[in-house]
Amino acid sequence: MDLRLLEIFCRVCKERSFSRAARELGLTQPTVSAHIKELEGSLGTPLFVRLGREIQVTEAGRLLYQHASPIVDAKRVAIDKMAAFLNRIEGVLTVGASSVPGECLLPGVMTGFHTRYPGVQMRLRISDTGETLEHLRHGDIEIGVVGARVRNDELRFESLAQDALVLAVPGTADWQGRTQLTLKELRELPLLVREPGSGTRTVLERALERRKLTLADMNVAAEFGSLGAIKEGVKRGVGVSFISALAIASELQARLVRVAEVRELGPIGRTYYIVVSRRRVLSPLTRAFHAYLRETAAAAPSPRARRPKRRPG
């Protein structure tokens, strides 16, 4: 039984998807499907049941996974131990991240890390904070960067960078000079929010809680599953939204959006965190990237929100 086939099989089991497994393995979906078919042929039994785009593991598949997973893990540990012994920083590094750090912070950091260690192939896996933490808990990734801290004894959080959550409003003429709102005025405006599990949403909910409010008290017009969709909605005048200052820096500069301050809420600070599992010993490659993250964070100035200018008088 080929070890590479077992690795592909275990990844499909974890992802419950041929396409997602292919993406994580750096293969094409037909290649993954062909390898699984080869493994099923050698064993003489189906390992998965295909139900449209979703798949389910058969009883035979569950039995194989129970025995194959430790073998695959043992191979990874052996490679890590040898890399540490030989002091090599190379291999494939998959970093998980929530939207804002994934789109605004990590691309430059990962490019710099690859320049320092050309033997490393970088992969960035962007989802929301909740999903990134789940990937860590299940061992799919070793390190992540997220926009909110949660109570979880299995995970260790470390502050990486500071930011602020600001109220982004359309850059249209009717918002010109309207730099301050009351909480009452905000509650009458259509509000665009991120999906549950998003770090941005968690920070906003905590800020509202301090005023004894929830999102149910707001005029939520739409819920979007991506940072890009939220920004596009604000630019098009669909509504207003609380967005990280770091994420709308270019839109502010191009005057596509403006920033208004909600008096009763005041500045809403947020922190981005490096997060790892307490139960897993980091590989030499991940330890090197962890150190590089802290090094670049110490050298870079913290992004700050521009305070809206007040009209004279």
What's the rounded mean pLDDT across residues 185-210?
92
**pLDDT band for position 304 (50/70/90)?**
very low
Percentage of the chain beyond pLDDT 90 is: 60
Cβ-defined contacts of 30-38 (< 8 Å, 24+): 32/8, 35/4, 35/5, 35/8, 35/9, 36/8, 36/9, 36/12, 38/5
Q: Which domains does the chain carry?
A: 3-86 (1.10.10.10), 89-313 (3.40.190.290)
**pLDDT band for position 311 (50/70/90)?**
very low
What is the C-alpha to C-alpha distance for residues 31 and 15, in angstroms, rounded to an integer? 16
* Pair of tokens at residue 96: 């998980």
End-to-end CA distance of the chain: 79
Percentage of the chain beyond pLDDT 70 is: 93
Run of H or E residues at 275: strand 268-277
**In this model, does residue 16 exceed pLDDT 90?**
no
Q: Which residue has the higher pLDDT, 299 or 17?
A: 17
Per-residue model confidence (pLDDT) at position 271 = 92
pLDDT (tens digit per residue) in 236-245: 999 999 999 9
**pLDDT band for position 312 (50/70/90)?**
very low
pLDDT (tens digit per residue) in 127-174: 889 899 998 988 889 999 998 888 888 899 999 999 999 999 999 988
pLDDT (tens digit per residue) in 66-77: 999 999 888 877
**pLDDT band for position 301 (50/70/90)?**
low
pTM for this predicted structure: 0.70
Per-residue model confidence (pLDDT) at position 313 = 38
What's the rounded mean pLDDT across residues 187-204?
92
pLDDT (tens digit per residue) in 81-134: 776 666 678 888 999 999 999 999 999 999 999 999 998 999 999 988 989 999
Residue with tokens 């307490």: 278
What is the C-alpha to C-alpha distance for residues 7 and 29, in angstroms, rounded to an integer? 15
Run of H or E residues at 180: strand 180-181
What are the DSSP calls for 110-148, one per residue?
HHHHHHH-TTEEEEEEE--HHHHHHHHHTTS-SEEEES-
**In this model, does residue 306 exceed pLDDT 50?**
no
Q: What count of other Cβ atoms lies within 10 Å of the Cβ of residue 223?
A: 16
Cβ contact 270:303 at 8 Å = no
Per-residue model confidence (pLDDT) at position 150 = 87
What is the C-alpha to C-alpha distance for residues 38 and 63, in angstroms, rounded to an integer? 18
